[in-house]
Amino acid sequence: MPRPSRPLLLPLTRGSEIARARQQLQRGGWPRLQMAAIVLVTGVAGLLASHLLRVGGIETMLLRYPLAVLLAYATFLLLMWIWLRWRGDVAADTVIPEASGAGGSATPGAGPDWFGSGGRSGGGGASASWGEAAGAGTSGSTSDGAMLDLADGEGLPILALLGVVTVVAAALVAASRVIWTAPVLMAELLVDAAIAGGLYRRMQGMQAQGWWRLCLAHTFWPLLGALLFFAALGWIAQEISPHANTLVDVLQTLRDK
């Protein structure tokens, strides 16, 4: 009687596990909603940072705005670390079967199963694009006193509205990029955490990349764009009104001219 043929054993790869993890996250983990909450908190942190820097004596917008962006990004990294610890704990409590055979999985999805109570997730890997998140999303909201001080001005001209719209648009562009690419970033973080924790013992000698490097790789361009945008905004504001401390002061100066 002929022996039944054994299924083909395919080697585990970082790319395949990231794709599987992304599918699991999108199926039950709401990654974009989670990233939207992270980006929102990051934006609030940026506004608060700019306000506190001004109260602390850093009144020059050219310096204060980029510093607020960097502080907001630091908040973003902290939130991503907390998220990874939360999902990593879920994964650690899950029984993860090792792939049988010479370093491979018999069927798609036969690798480590990351189905936890908070939705599915997968682990591992190579960097991609803050952010997706971040740099992109996190710092756009750091328009410092623009929002906090709007209540102090009355009857601002159309220019004030245009200025606010420009800042908000820049923030939305950066945040949207981070939020849209959240499934990829989060999947890579989980896979990387699995590799670092030894959960993928047969993944062909792959090494963990490091969660902060992955976050930076995904969000570098949004972060750089936010830094350049707010540095330019601060420089233009200081050129228009050298003694102004907020964008509202600049707009008041323009109205009085």
Question: Helix (H) and strand (E) counts for the chain?
Answer: 9, 4
In terms of Cα–Cα distance, which of 173, 147, 130 is closest to 48? 147
Amino acid identity, position 175:
A
Q: Which residues contact 155 (CB under 8 A, 6 or more apart)?
A: none
Q: Are strands 104-105 and 119-120 parallel, antiparallel or unpaired?
A: unpaired
Type of residue at 162: L
pLDDT tens digit string along 55-109? Answer: 999 989 999 999 999 999 999 999 999 999 887 655 444 333 343 333 444 344 4
Which comes out higher in pLDDT, residue 4 or 14?
A: 14
Degrees, nearest 5: CA angle 73-130-198: 105
Would you state the structure tokens that stand for residue 187, as one six-digit string? Answer: 């999947």
Give the 3-state secondary structure of residue 121.
Answer: coil
**The pair of three-digit structure tokens given for residue 68, joined into one six-digit string:** 């607020």
Contact 163, 247 (CB under 8 A): yes
Tell the residue number behind the tokens 């949207």, with chain if given: 176
3-class secondary structure, 159: helix
pLDDT of 157 above 70: no
Tell me what the pLDDT averaged over the chain comes to: 72
pLDDT in tens, 54-69: 999 998 999 999 999 9
The predicted pLDDT at position 55 comes to 94
Residue 174 pLDDT level (bands cut at 50, 70, 90): confident
CA distances from 151 to 84, 102, 128, 248 (A): 38, 66, 41, 9
User: So what's the pLDDT on residue 173?
Assistant: 84
